[in-house]
Amino acid sequence: MESLKFEYRNTVEELIMPEYGRNVQDLVRHCKDIEDPKYRQSFAESIVDLMQIMTPYNKNLDEHRKKLWHHFFRIAKYDIEVIPPAGVNPSKEDDMLRPARVIYPPNNEKFRHYGNYVNSLIAKACELDDEVKQMEFAVLIGSFMKMAFRTWNRDHHITDEIIKKDLRTMSKGKLNLPDDLILDTNNSTSHRSHKKPMTLMKNKKNQNFKKKKPMNSNAPKRRY
């Protein structure tokens, strides 16, 4: 009876890039041992083709192809005599690069339900010199704040007075909306004295109304 040999994870080489599996890593290791330069180059290109088949979800073919060559050299530990395509310069320094740290905006715990985007809008509105444009901009910001509050706080009631007070506080008193202004979440505003004319409503009813044609007495009656 033949004895079976099992390989355990603690006895085999560690996977450099697990997303490609151990077979690809073994192929790259075999590619290093090929003495013929032309055959080694062709074998390396076949490995990259295999890696591309394993990742079909990438749509940008040119950029993805360059990325695969970088991964090939990383699996080979940059110790292989293979010529990469033009524009690809893989090196060990690429693995040492770290992305720049993302600077997050400071959080205002009191008004965080409006979002940091509102703070940027308020800062731009305060920089305007034209009072008319500044007021129009402030009205749009107030409408957006009301919409944001209703989106994330459906269980709480919000009034225009609260929005105006918060806008005044967040702008440090520079943006003051009129008391008779009604904020609309559809980016339009209206005053309390504004009413829709009744003539427009009557005209719409008249357009939908169709007069019935008089019946012709001389027409023959239909029998059922």
Q: Could you read off the pLDDT of 109-159 as tens digits, one per residue?
A: 678 778 778 888 999 999 999 999 999 999 999 999 988 888 877 777 788
Q: DSSP letter for 184, please.
A: -
Q: Residue 34: what residue type?
A: I
Domain for residue 49, yes or no? Answer: yes
Q: Which domain holds residue 58?
A: 18-96
Domain for residue 32, yes or no? Answer: yes
Q: How far apart are CA 177 and CA 167, in angstroms?
A: 9
Residue 219: CB atoms within 10 A of its CB come to 7
* pLDDT beyond 50 at 188: no
Domain for residue 154, yes or no? Answer: yes
**Are 137 and 65 part of one and the same domain?**
no
* pLDDT beyond 90 at 101: no
**Are 117 and 82 part of one and the same domain?**
no
Closest CA to 25 of 58, 55, 47, 49: 47
Q: Residue 20: what residue type?
A: Y
* pLDDT beyond 90 at 35: yes
Domain for residue 31, yes or no? Answer: yes
**Average pLDDT score over residue span 55-63:** 79
**Are 28 and 86 part of one and the same domain?**
yes
Q: Which residue has the tokens 């509102």?
A: 118
**Are 157 and 183 part of one and the same domain?**
yes
Domain for residue 172, yes or no? Answer: yes
**Average pLDDT score over residue span 178-207:** 55
**Are 90 and 134 part of one and the same domain?**
no
**Are 190 and 129 part of one and the same domain?**
yes
- How much is the pTM? 0.47
* pLDDT beyond 60 at 19: yes
Tokens of 22: 């151990």
**Are 89 and 55 part of one and the same domain?**
yes
* Per-residue confidence (pLDDT) for residue 112, from 0 to 100: 75
Domain for residue 215, yes or no? Answer: no
**Are 118 and 181 part of one and the same domain?**
yes
Domain for residue 156, yes or no? Answer: yes
Domain for residue 132, yes or no? Answer: yes
**Are 51 and 119 part of one and the same domain?**
no
Residues 6+ apart with CB under 8 A from 46: none
**Are 78 and 128 part of one and the same domain?**
no
**Are 143 and 168 part of one and the same domain?**
yes
**Are 126 and 173 part of one and the same domain?**
yes
- Structural domain total, the chain: 2
Domain boundary among 96, 130, 152: 96
Q: DSSP letter for 221, please.
A: P
